Structure 1
């Protein structure tokens, strides 16, 4: 089926999301491994992506683990160093698609507070035709209901949506609904997919 809209994940598709990298730089890899073994910070972040208050949820986790209080609070206080930088070619692809008149949607597991910080830092996050941000929806990928909400609110048939995401389980959930998908492992591969599908020319995808 002809692609009627391209759907972008954000973390690790348009901006880097590698929190461990920042922790390694600040506290060292050994201490970071001990921290992440002791506390599931990604599970904490999943609560934020579901709509929990950013500061309150991190502070709650820090209070539960006084021996790691400062390190847990880094998740809040250093958030812009945990996320980013942008992935330049991915941003160019977003803009090339929009310049060509291809509707572009965002579908991302992202907290309310964290997305506000990200949008202020990276204004291209405001350039989508529609945005589906999990914190505002109280749903996270790969819950089928979040994909159904995109279909209903965007008006695009499932088969017309081309979805790029770096997590296999999110891609599989979209495929189960009949979406076209691309498991993102870098912008070069996604650019090639857009060219192969006839959505962008090689020059437009450069």
Structure 2
């Protein structure tokens, strides 16, 4: 890590809120059947379309029609979505709030659908607390595409090492590093706390 950044950018899924679709399916399907389900219907590819702006319910229900054997399971991606996107990672949210309370601009940069994000806001009020929010569904591009990082820089006024980006996926932080951003691959709040401390950023 280098100099203290001017702003901090948070991913949401698995940084501020757990995103574990497999956890829901593991509760209702035997492990072998769940493996067959994910291999056969590739719901993460369907979710990527939503993250890039496709409609939430319509995309999932249309996908279900293609796979009659798994249709009920696929529709759960919409009908029980909030169970996949939970719970909040409280320590991470506390760090977000401490940074902002101390005058550090904090942004969200997340692969998230338009309607699913609006739904999440009704469940998780802290999602309204960012200084700016860059949601892939609205931007019609997604991490790790270079375009989304360029759009963030153009809008927020910071670039390169002025930005610290926190994400759980190495491919997303690698793409950010290509733009000169400082990055941290999130695995647990304790690791993030150490990074913020090392960069002379306020922590709770």
Give the aligned partner of residue 76 of structure 1. Answer: 78
Give the aligned partner of residue 120 of structure 1. Answer: 122
Pick aligned residue for 1:2 from 1, 4, 16? 4
Give the aligned partner of residue 58 of structure 2. Answer: 56
Deviation of 1:8 (Å): 0.1
Deviation of 1:82 (Å): 1.0
Structure 1 gap ranges (5+) = none
Distance, in Å, in 2 between the alignment partners of 1:157 and 1:21 is 37
Render the CA deviation track for 1:54-92: whole Å, top value 9, x for unaligned.
011001110000111100000000000111100010000
The TM-score normalised by the length of structure 2 is: 0.97
Give the aligned partner of residue 197 of structure 2. Answer: 195
Distance, in Å, in 1 between the alignment partners of 2:57 and 2:159 is 37
Pick aligned residue for 2:89 from 87, 90, 94? 87
Render the CA deviation track for 1:14-39: whole Å, top value 9, x for unaligned.
00001000011122322211110111
Give the aligned partner of residue 155 of structure 1. Answer: 157
The TM-score normalised by the length of structure 1 is: 0.96
1:183 to 2:185 alignment: yes
Give the superposed CA RMSD.
0.8
Distance, in Å, in 2 between the alignment partners of 1:107 and 1:96 is 18
Distance, in Å, in 2 between the alignment partners of 1:133 and 1:37 is 28
The 3-state SS of whatever aligns with 1:101 is: coil
Deviation of 1:158 (Å): 1.9
The 3-state SS of whatever aligns with 2:87 is: strand
Give the aligned partner of residue 166 of structure 1. Answer: 168
Give the aligned partner of residue 105 of structure 1. Answer: 107
Distance, in Å, in 1 between the alignment partners of 2:78 and 2:133 is 23
1:7-18 matches, cutoff 5 A: 7-18=9-20
Distance, in Å, in 2 between the alignment partners of 1:16 and 1:117 is 15
